[in-house]
Structure 1
């Protein structure tokens, strides 16, 4: 299996949330690194790309990226610019939003996202293996739009069912399947203290 990868957690357009599954996952993976939350008032895409680059530069050895929501699009922007993509064994991209369609109230408007540099959303194939986890009832993206994005990125997909936006507002909380998906991306080997779930438990 080789050297276990370090997990790099990339949050979406939110502040720190103690009960978010990414926060809980970081606690289960004491070797994990996290990109600092951007907060909904700090939308600068270039700053997000630089934050990912700096976080990855601080890690020694191979990496598995675990991104949620807008963090998935930030990873796509980063992948199009970085020289470090070869260090990434895989990326778990959970419920990427559809920035090309107006988001629900409380989320940034398209004009604000455009001004912050998020467009065009990268559609080229990602330079590392990736897995897009999609929701059947995500208020931030229709399923067919997420599936089209995954095809463009060259990502495998997993349908999580009706999980909303996979955040505390949707009842998550812990997301146990994440450990199995990370392990699968890392060839069955990931730095963790807890028991890795089997792929059949997803």
Structure 2
């Protein structure tokens, strides 16, 4: 699948993906991409966030590829039952946060627990870092396995955001291109 053949929905995490974040850069670079906006980037609720993701998928006019980061991953996975059947063709999930067990997450994020473990109805890649402060690699891999997704080991990459040195993140864009080629 080529980017011109699909709607790419970019789903940021807590706080949104500001200027310089790889998601914001990709949204500017990929002509069929758009960011799924939330009413409140700093006080998320599962119902509102999942609803916005489901609404964006329902409004798509072509097959959808999801590109989610951090809490956006959880919102996407929780919104799956709300998606029209067959519209989402694949997902790139980056830096899944363990809202169930990570000790350093704010309570408002814990409202997203428990995270569904049902197999996803579309192929997905879960990019996980061995030094992500919000999720142990083994937990991310366990969730990916439950979802039927492939895990991509990002090594010691932190949370794969600006703070961890991932502004443009060209490796991620190459991973996305390879993934889409196989769809």
* CA shift for structure 1 position 188: 5.6
Structure 2 residue runs without a partner (length 5+): none
> What's the TM-score, normalizing by structure 2?
0.90
CA separation in 2, counterparts of 1:85 and 1:176? 32
Within the candidate set 21, 39, 42, 2:41 is matched to 39
Structure label with greater radius of gyration: 1
- Structure 1 distance, partners of 2:33, 2:117, is 28
Note closer, same or farther for the CA distance 1:95–1:185 as it changes in structure 2 (3 Å cut).
same
| Count of residues paired in the alignment | 181
Picking from 150, 154, 172, the partner of 2:148 is 154
Q: Residue 86 of structure 1 aligns to a residue in which SS? A: coil
User: Structure 1 residue runs of 4+, over 3 Å off?
Assistant: none
When the two structures are superposed, what TM-score results if normalisation uses the length of structure 1? Answer: 0.82
* Structure 2 equivalent of residue 98 of structure 1: 98
Gaps of 5+ in 1: 190-202
Higher RCO (CA-CA < 8 Å; seq separation 6+): 1
1:1-202 superposed matches below 5 A = 4-37=5-38, 38-40=40-42, 42-79=43-80, 81-104=81-104, 107-109=105-107, 112-114=108-110, 116=111, 118-187=112-181
Q: SS in structure 2 opposite 1:27?
A: helix
